[in-house]
Structure 1
Amino acid sequence: MEQPTQTENRLKSSEDGGCFPTETTTKPLIQTVTHILLRDNEDFQPYFKPISVALGPLHHDYSPDSKLQRGEKSKLQMAEKFIKYSGREMEVFYTRVKAEINSLRECYDSKEIKTWCDECLAWLFLMDGCAVLFFILHDATDNLDKLGAKDDLLAYVKMDLFLLENQLPYQLLQILMNLCTRVPLCSPEDENKSAAEVLNASITTFIDKNAMNLLGQEQQKPLIKNSKKQQQQQEQQTAATTTTTAAITIDTQREPAHLLELLWRRITKSEKDKESDGAISKLLKKLYPSGENGSDVTMSKCISCNSNSGDKKRHWRPTFRSVKELNEKGIWLKVSNSSNIEGISSIEDISFQEYFFWATLKLPPITGDNFTWPKLMNLIAYEMCPDFKNNFEISSYVSFLDSLIDQREDVKLMRDADVLYNGLGSDKAVALRFNKISKNLVSNFWLQHSYLKHQIQAHCNNKFATSMAQLYHTYFRSPWSMLAFFGALLGLGLTAMQTYEAY
């Protein structure tokens, strides 16, 4: 049995090293991926480890036998070029980072970096931060070819920038950006902007491009070739971007913790949701107004309006159906057309619309390939950090997609609707990936989208609508069945005419 003094010491150490949120917690710490996510998903462990370049102290390895040596050399070269074009001497950058080292330490779990001395950690932050800004600036301006690196290395570097354990404090990037007096690749329209404004705008563009790739929107030409009006809106927003990243942090009081959080914010909220109560609240207020001006509508009100008796309550507890089953009930998938000012959809852009005897379930598109899966997994890992307060938006969305996908036929139907872009080749591989990834996920999807569940279930319980859907699947699904159906009608018509003429 432990002595009281030993127990007291353990309690004191847990106070220092614990990662549960407290009143003094300002932003989530950069930490390792929780073991819960990896418990039954050992196949996903490589998604959380850097492939080409280590950023920050958690995976840094100076040994000559390290597999990351190739990326380490490229990183040092990029950092050197960034400082060269910055208009400042290296000593200026190092002195400022060293002065803020205690604050930067607080961005990490203290147990993870306790072996690092201040000088070594300041030098590491300086090199890694400058390299990241240099890479982002080239990617945002479509000038990655000027880095002189092969395409495979550049692709893996971009992937490594969004690993949870590979993050750098956004505070560090702000320090480095504010010290710059000029930047490379400065275009004529950026001449009247400060270096910090140009670098902040490049980060915004970089996050937008990765959000579009993750949500499968790079394949949609209308989102790439914007109209002149949309381009003007984008230019106005870029011009309004300041060193405090106001365009990105519009939905929160605190600054972002790192780049991964910026990506999380971008794809979990659309611009219209940031400016108002959100699409879901709007819809609920429209459907179930209560109080003055239809305010304060809750999910419980939505549920109570649709279940007045015990029998009806049982009615609203469905096991959700796969895409194939939804199709058989007359519910078709369609890409959601709502997006923010940058033309980027949010995973919250989910809606259900009914038209007489058929309906459409609109979903934001998503990409499934070897480059976007790591981003998705690290976003989920970030949501599972104990000091990050959130509603598990990404985890819930992935769990929802898993409920739609039972087998390869479901993946095919999602591909046909342009809701999912399969980069793995096999539809079965995508189905298995979704089934595995959602094993240990926390899902709040049906709590957040209760109205959606009720609408879909109500349509499935409509016998007339489902009968018409079955009629369509039987006689109108293919051109040949349609020809056979109309041929039969024509034959009956001719027979009726002959019978009429005979009398």
Structure 2
Amino acid sequence: MSESTTQTAEGFTAKLIEKTIDKLAVGISESEDLSIYRVPNKLREVKADAYNPRVVSIGPFHRGHQDLAPMEKYKSLYVLRFFQYTKTPQETRICLEDCTKALYDLDKQVRRCYSEEIKHIDNTLTEVMLLDGCFILELFLRYDQHCLNMKLKGKVDPIFNNAWMIPALRQDLALLENQIPFIVLKKLYQIIRPSVVNHYTPPNSVTSLALKFFQPMNNKALAGDTEDCNHLLDLLHKFCFLPTKLAPLNQILSTSHIVPIRISGILGFNHAASELLWYGVEFEKGSMEGNLLDIAFQRGVIKIPPVFIDNTTDSLFRNLIAFEQCHLNSSHHITSYVIFLKSLIRSKEDIKLLQRRGIIDQNWGGEDQFLSNFGTILDQVHPKDFHFDHLCEVVNCYRKSWFHWQTHKVFWTVRLKYLYQTYFSTAWSMISFIAAFCLFVLTITQTYFAIHPAH
């Protein structure tokens, strides 16, 4: 091989290595931004309705769907009202230019957030982000003012005049495929907030606005503030169901123990809630100030923070689980929580028990529907870790042990309560029991004297 050929080969190799390294660097950078995904087909086949928007399309994935077309004119109306916070037409123009330029500069970062290349709206993606971002922020601002009993701008509001619209929008804005990057909302709010202050004092951040809007979905007091999230569903994942302040992972899971998922065996409890109670395990309502993972077992009592359940809960949990399934950087917190709940709730008796203990706050009378939803919610789901494995194993072993005084206490308390509810819950049942007992005594006495007649 000649010297020139060797140099050419070395030069080609060096260029190839440099090119490959550059591609790897770009790939790593893009994967770090990736956070908005298509729901995997396996999950969608189980229950497609849980992942499809019903009222509004947000972002590129569902844009142009005919069923969602009626909402587009309302979105445009909200965008116009969004820019009406400015005082003069000149200020409005400047504000619109600032918003458009800020989003145009974010174009590459926005595209990297989506799991597939956005080709069909290459020339209008900035317009989509502007339209949807302004709509969401105006919706949040109007909801905040509505909660403060302030008069809303405009005589007619097609959204707030319909009682069903706000709950429907909450559900749609919490869908995995119906998201825009949080940085879009953050940038737009930074630009518009100085103008909003002229009308009323809004929250300092988009996080606070969003959490107030979504608060009825979990009926939980929310505290803390951060903008370190990918989109609105990620915000719900971090705040509504995990700690209100983003603690390190070892603090978040202080009451549980992470172990690799088992290939075989039962995940969760061996017995449902009503059966565990019968065997001597009691349930108590945990603190509302913590998070849903703050579950503990001490002295025969499982303390579980209250969870709010309505007809949107199934869709919300399924989308949170889908996000955990797709997002490589996400631990399976919600998946573990649903596994935990599903192992406890297997019948109406289990739901009623947890309701009596204040653990389930159900604003929805569909117990059969709840059980039906829970029956399939983990189908085609592959958890990579189960955060309550240790807790469940301790409870399963505790149930089998009779060396705990607390076990005997709960065991006999449950049985005495059952006897009381069966025989002494009303005056008539008590009279019936006393009559039956007297009849039993008389029968025994009569039998005794029949066998042993008096002399």
> Under a length normalisation based on structure 1, what TM-score does the superposition of the two structures give?
0.67
Matched with 1:417 is 357
Name structure 1 gaps, 5 residues minimum.
1-17, 191-197, 218-222, 225-233, 238-246, 250-254, 285-297, 301-315, 340-344, 492-503
Query: In 2 relative to 1, CA 482–350 (structure 1 residues): closer, same or farther, beyond 3 Å?
Result: same
- Distance in 2, Cα, partners of 1:142 & 1:207: 15
Change (3 A) 1:214 1:336: farther
Instruction: Trace 1:186-205 onto structure 2 (pairs within 5 A).
Output: 190=201, 198=202, 200-205=204-209
Q: Distance in 1 between matches of 2:268 and 2:294?
A: 22
One-letter amino acid matched to 2:171: M
- Cα deviation, residue 49, structure 1: 1.3
Aligned to 1:455: 394
The 3-state SS of whatever aligns with 2:317 is helix
Q: SS where residue 421 of structure 1 aligns? A: strand
Distance 1:468 1:181, change over 3 A: closer
> What does residue 226 of structure 2 align with?
248
Q: Is residue 2:274 matched to residue 1:324? A: yes
2:139 pairs, out of 126, 135, 141, with 135
Alignment of 1:116 onto 2:121 = yes
1:289-312 C-alpha deviation (Å, 9 max, x unpaired): xxxxxxxxx878xxxxxxxxxxxx
Between Structure 1 and Structure 2, whose CA radius of gyration is higher?
Answer: 2
The answer to whether the Cα contact below 8 Å between 1:393 and 1:444 also exists between their aligned partners in 2 is: no
Q: In structure 2, the residue corresponding to 1:337 is in which secondary structure?
A: coil
Equivalent position of 2:287 in the other structure: 337
1:60 paired to 2:63? yes
Q: CA deviation at 1:397?
A: 0.8
Residue number among 335, 342, 346 corresponding to 2:291 in the alignment: 346
Take 1:476 and 1:110, find their aligned partners in 2: how far apart are those partners? 58
Equivalent position SS for 1:473: helix
Aligned counterparts of 1:329 and 1:273: Cα–Cα separation in 2: 37
- The amino acid across from 1:452 in the alignment is L
How does 1:129-168 map onto structure 2 within 5 Å? Answer: 129-143=133-147, 146=152, 147-149=157-159, 150-168=162-180
CA–CA separation in structure 2 for the residues paired with 1:53 and 1:317: 37
Equivalent residue pairs, number: 387
Change (3 A) 1:326 1:443: farther
- CA distance in 2 between counterparts of 1:27 and 1:299 reads 26
In the alignment, the residues of structure 1 paired with residue 267 and residue 100 of structure 2 have an alpha-carbon distance, to the nearest angstrom, of 60
The one-letter code of the counterpart of 2:381 is: L
Give the Cα–Cα distance (whole angstroms) in 2 for the partners of residues 299 and 348 of structure 1. 12
C-alpha distance in structure 2 between counterparts of 1:353 and 1:203, whole Å: 35
Q: Is the 8 A contact 1:54 1:68 kept in 2?
A: yes
Distance 1:336 1:213, change over 3 A: farther
* Aligned counterpart for 1:400 among listed residues 319, 323, 340: 340
Deviation string, structure 1 residues 162-221 (Cα, Å, up to 9, x no partner): 111110111211221222253447676x3xxxxxxx4553532432552x434344xxxx
Q: Which has the higher mean CA deviation after the structures are superposed, 403-412 or 454-463?
A: 454-463
Which whole-Å deviations, capped at 9, do the CAs of 1:437-489 have from their partners, x for residues lacking one? 1222234664x2344124313421222554544432332333565797x999x
* Secondary structure at 2:146 match in 1: coil
Q: 1:364 to 1:409 in 2, by over 3 A?
A: same
Spell out, residue by residue over 1:63-85, the C-alpha distance to the aligned partner (whole angstroms, 9 max, x if none).
7xx22222111111101111221
User: In the superposition, relative to structure 1, how do residues 475 and 151 fare at CA in structure 2: closer, same or farther (>3 Å)?
Assistant: closer
Task: Give the match for residue 435 of structure 1.
Answer: 375
Q: Does the aligned pair in 1 maintain the 2:269–2:343 contact within 8 Å?
A: no
Contact preservation (8 Å) 1:75, 1:131: yes
1:92 counterpart = 2:98: yes
Q: CA RMSD in A?
A: 3.7
Letter in 2 for 1:73: K
Q: Is the 8 A contact 1:475 1:482 kept in 2?
A: no
Contact 1:164 1:382 in 2 (8 A): yes
TM-fit CA distance, 1:402: 0.8
Q: 1:108 to 1:443 in 2, by over 3 A?
A: closer
**Partner of 1:213 in structure 2?**
216
Partner residue, 2:307: 366
Give, as a single letter, the amino acid of the residue that structure 2 aligns with 1:165.
Answer: E
Q: Match of 1:71? A: 71
Runs of 5+ unmatched residues, structure 2:
1-23, 260-265, 439-455
- Give the % identical residues: 22
